Amino acid sequence: MSNSDDHSAAARRRDVRIAKGYSLEDLAVATGLTVAEITAAEEPKGSTPKRHVARIENVLGLS
């Protein structure tokens, strides 16, 4: 994935989370991840494990 794709995917996760009314804390509870892990997944330069991204995207309906 290119840097542009990473940025787009991170921004999309954040935008969908907000559109669905999830706070960072709500998504943390739903995914079993920490707020810091979710924040990292929403930052374009974050190095988030694929398993964390998959959990977030599953809850948000992106997978």
Tokens 């990292």 belong to 40
- Other Cβ atoms within 10 Å of 40 Cβ, number: 18
What pLDDT does 63 receive? 79
- Banded pLDDT at 4 (limits 50, 70, 90): low
Give the global pTM.
0.84
What pLDDT does 9 receive? 92
- Kindly report, residue by residue over 16-33, the tens digit of the pLDDT: 999 999 999 999 999 999
Listed residue (6, 62, 55) closest to 27, CA to CA: 55
What pLDDT does 28 receive? 98
Work out the average pLDDT over 34-53: 92
| Secondary-structure percent of the chain, ordered helix, strand, coil, rounded to 5 | 70, 0, 30
